[in-house]
Structure 1
Amino acid sequence: MSDQVSLEPVDAANVTVLVDNFIDALLPGGEVAQRPQVAYDMWEREREQLVAEHGLSLLLTVERDGRSASLVYDAGLGRESAVHNMDVLQVRLPDLRAIVMSHGHSDHHGGLEGMIRRVGARGMPLVIHPEAWRDRKVVFPTGTELHLPPPSRRDLDREGVEVTEERQPSLLIDGTVLVTGQIERVTDFEKGFPLNYARSNGGWEPDPWIWDDQAVVVNLKGKGLVVLSGCSHSGAINVLRQAQRLTGEDRVHAFVGGMHLTGGIFERLIPRTLDELVAIAPKWLVPGHCTGWKATHEIARRQPEAYVQTSVGTRLQFT
């Protein structure tokens, strides 16, 4: 069992959805969700359209004692998708302190090159689990294969990126942001991704556990944890329990990101996952990316007051 860490509480945690699978330009805002402003001629300016894709990138900004700092969690699939959306949203990152990779699948690191060229390396760390460098593929029951190449270590070195490999939990931004590191698998129903394979000694071997899966956690002062998860390949409940165990804080204020409950193999996990979610009782749930429409609709039905619909460009304000 991992030792507890001392996670400094923050006054605010703001999450901007830079890349996700879904966009709705007419989606209304709400108590915590601020949507991009509608402009009179926005649909006449092709280059100023936000883009959605099968990928994820989140910008996390924490505020403490009047100061703010940011990190990027994942970089999306397309090389320029995240930076294009940053331009449309007029997002500037003068206070960017780190980039964190949730895991090595290409729909989470494909935009790294564009992101790093935009913000500059500047000795800024890229925090990544050592198994994220594995070359992978998904083999579907039909026999169709999908290649998921890892990030290029050579390209990152050429760009002068300071790569920090870590299996254990680590703290960033003056102790206010926790990277969970390798997540312990403690539930009896979250069994990984059985279709995932990794290259080994020239061949392919089953790689269901995807051990590089890691989340980002902030402790919102007086309210509990804000948890960001890329795909939750370790299981959404395992992710939340790891956050609680490492911080000693049982309250979960918000969960944002993917739960990987899409497709026939994972849809049978929806009832048990939602039972556990109801017991944990996050104040806010913002499922996106690979959560899947069946799980998303069930979350909205069972926890309507907590559910917030994701959309590219949304700014979530947790204060």
Structure 2
Amino acid sequence: MVALKQVNKLAIQFIVDNTTEWFLKMPPGFTHEMKYHLTELKPVIDPLTGTPFIDAENYCCAHGFSALIHTQTEDSSDTHLTLFDTGPDSQTITRNLAALQIPTEKIDRVILSHWHADHSGGILAFLRARNKAVSLASQTTQPAPCVFDLHPDRPIARGIAPGGKVIARLPDDPTFEQIQELGGVVEKSSEGHVVADGTVYVSGEIPRVTGFEQGLLGAVRWKGEWVSEEDIMDERYAAIDVVGKGLIIFSACSHAGIVNVVKDAIKTLNRPIYMIIGGLHLSTPDLQERIAPTVDFLANKLRPAPNYVLPMHCSGFNAKVELERALGDGCVPAGTGAKVDVTGDPTAEKQMFAPVITDWLS
């Protein structure tokens, strides 16, 4: 069991989320922005791999994810600010933090869910903005350096290969050295651990136990040549335990599959699931067959069922429709700029029971 402290107050602010769809099937005459850039706008070619870049710095949309997590325990007046992912580029994260008037200098940890640029692309820009905010802070209350919680297996490059043909590579993730040069403290871990004074759990590698969740189809990694890497084993989720409510799960992309994520969280933390937040990666046409068993698990095989599911980022329109049909108001259309407040309930805590999953291998 993990020594995760229960929190009495939790606030979540969504800094970055998708505002357009890149993946869903569209009628004739409609073109997704990514396809337009790759086929008509002469994309920049990566000299290392000879593959077109997805140049997120110059795309119109904010395809990515970032959430600011505020945690506070009942016996402490201190609120810990933890940033989970940083969005896709150097502009969105700083613009949206400023728009929401976030005290950037008070964010003392950044958790990166996995090494994909739509989650890591804002790291260096965030760190520069934080450094500027720290320099303007009172000299008597200088914040500690920001810690960057990272999986040690950073890839050289990752790409997209639908049907086996590589059509593009993702932008570079920031390096450990670049983060350190800007004053960030790098902590590497592939094992589960708690942070933010014990109020946030960061998972280790997620066990793959379901039969229908088969990773990110067409994902490749550069190792002198492109090799298949559909499992994305550096992916991690985060969890917070609210008194009388249960676990709030942050799964930025769910390349492991959200059912695998939930099963690992329950096995590790032995608490019911109150809320599931983030990308469920069910948007592309080749993943549509995963929607029904995913919704069935969340609505029918997990007991108690989650109070809320916030399908964001890469979840896709069809998955949102099916979740709303199964969960009703429990499916919440959250997005950039939204805020969620969750207050603990000690009375309800006494009535809670361990979660039950009717079919562990479904």
TM-score (norm 2): 0.76
Q: Distance in 1 between matches of 2:322 and 2:156?
A: 34
Check if 1:300 corresponds to 2:324: yes
Q: Deviations over 1:229-259 (max 9, x none)?
A: 110110001111111111121x111011000
Per the alignment, residue 353 of structure 2 pairs with none
Q: What does 1:1-319 correspond to in 2, within 5 Å?
A: 4-22=1-19, 53-65=62-74, 66-120=77-131, 122-141=144-163, 143=165, 145-148=167-170, 149-200=172-223, 202-249=224-271, 251-278=272-299, 279-280=301-302, 281-319=305-343
Larger radius of gyration: 2
Separation of aligned partners in 2, 1:283 and 1:22: 25
Return the structure number with greater relative CO, CA threshold 8 A, min gap 6: 1
Cα–Cα, structure 1 residues 189 and 134, in superposed 2: closer, same or farther, change >3 Å?
farther
Contact 1:129/1:182 (<8 A) preserved: no
CA deviations on 1:182-215 (whole Å, 9 max, x unpaired) are: 1111111111112111111x11111010001101
Distance 1:52 1:297 in 2: 22
Alpha-carbon shift at residue 226 of structure 1 (Å)? 0.4
Aligned match of 2:349 = none
- Identical counterparts, % of pairs: 28
Letter in 2 for 1:129: H
Q: Is contact 2:193-2:202 (8 Å) kept?
A: yes
Distance 1:204 1:79 in 2: 27
Matched residue type, 1:176: T
CA distance in 2, matches of 1:64, 1:96: 17
Number of residue pairs matched?
287
Unaligned segments of structure 1, at least 5 residues? 24-50
Give me the whole-angstrom Cα distance separating, in 1, the residues matched to 2:162 and 2:204.
Answer: 28
The ranges of structure 1 where at least 4 consecutive aligned residues each deviate by more than 6 angstroms after the TM superposition are none
Q: Matches of 2:61 and 2:241 in 1, distance apart?
A: 29
Distance 2:178 2:121 in 1: 12
- The structure with the largest helix share of the pair is 2
CA contact under 8 A between 1:194 and 1:206: conserved in structure 2?
A: no
Mapped contact 1:104–1:134 kept (Cα < 8 A): no
Contact 2:108 2:145 in 1 (8 A): no
